[in-house]
Chain A
Amino acid sequence: AQSVSQHNHHVILSEAASLELGCNYSYGGTVNLFWYVQYPGQHLQLLLKYFSGDPLVKGIKGFEAEFIKSKFSFNLRKPSVQWSDTAEYFCAVTFHSGGYQKVTFGIGTKLQVIP
């Protein structure tokens, strides 16, 4: 079965540090890739998405992610984190299945940014 792996379950950084969260998926076919963020007490929000084209995707709030097909990876990056980035981050993948998008989520990474 298709799966999504997030390597870091809990990350603690100081403000202004750089961030990279790993995400790998297991599927050799066509995929769509997403990063969602869940701030404390709030619902899941889309951070960025990759469907096709330029593998370097820029999202909101200075986040970006790079799709490396050969590595089955879609790592999330941010050059300088802020305290307000404290949240849980979920990598998600849709494995092309019929005409709709059945999303498989990773386990999530809790990011804590220390002022």
Chain B
Amino acid sequence: GAGVSQSPRYKVAKRGQDVALRCDPISGHVSLFWYQQALGQGPEFLTYFQNEAQLDKSGLPSDRFFAERPEGSVSTLKIQRTQQEDSAVYLCASSLPKRTGLGWARQPQHFGDGTRLSIL
């Protein structure tokens, strides 16, 4: 498969449990993004990695949310002590910034199918 792969597709957890969501980006993609899409809303930015470095985590809603990408490929989004308001689809996207003579050219992001998280 050449696309972004996310697992699991569906996750149901009880309030207070910890969950871990996995993202396999397209091979070779340097940039990796996590988004949260609540019902009836557009995706909202959570965090960004360039290789293994987490350069922006300004969108993480609380300190219960933690993301990592230790080897610069697979990423995991962890949510501790889940709350009902965490119920959403979590999307992962990756892209490969293109180096040009003028600097970095922005490239569109490729999205995975998402993980639908339901907190009971």
Chain A residues packing against B (C-beta within 8 Å): 4, 32, 34, 36, 42-46, 49, 51, 90, 92, 94, 98-108
**Closest residue of B by beta carbon distance from A36:** B111
CB-CB under 8 A from B56, the residues of chain A are 100, 102
Interface size on B, residues (CB 8 A): 31
**Closest residue of B by beta carbon distance from A110:** B40
* A43 with B111: CB separation less than 8 A: yes
Given the interface contacts A43-B112, A43-B113, A43-B114, does A100 sit within 8 Å of B31 by beta carbon?
yes
* B42 with A101: CB separation less than 8 A: no
- Asked if B48 is an interface residue, CB under 8 A from chain A, the answer is yes
Q: How far is the CA of A22 from the CA of B48 in the complex (A)?
A: 28
CB-CB under 8 A from B112, the residues of chain A are 43
* Cβ of A51 to closest chain B Cβ, rounded Å: 7
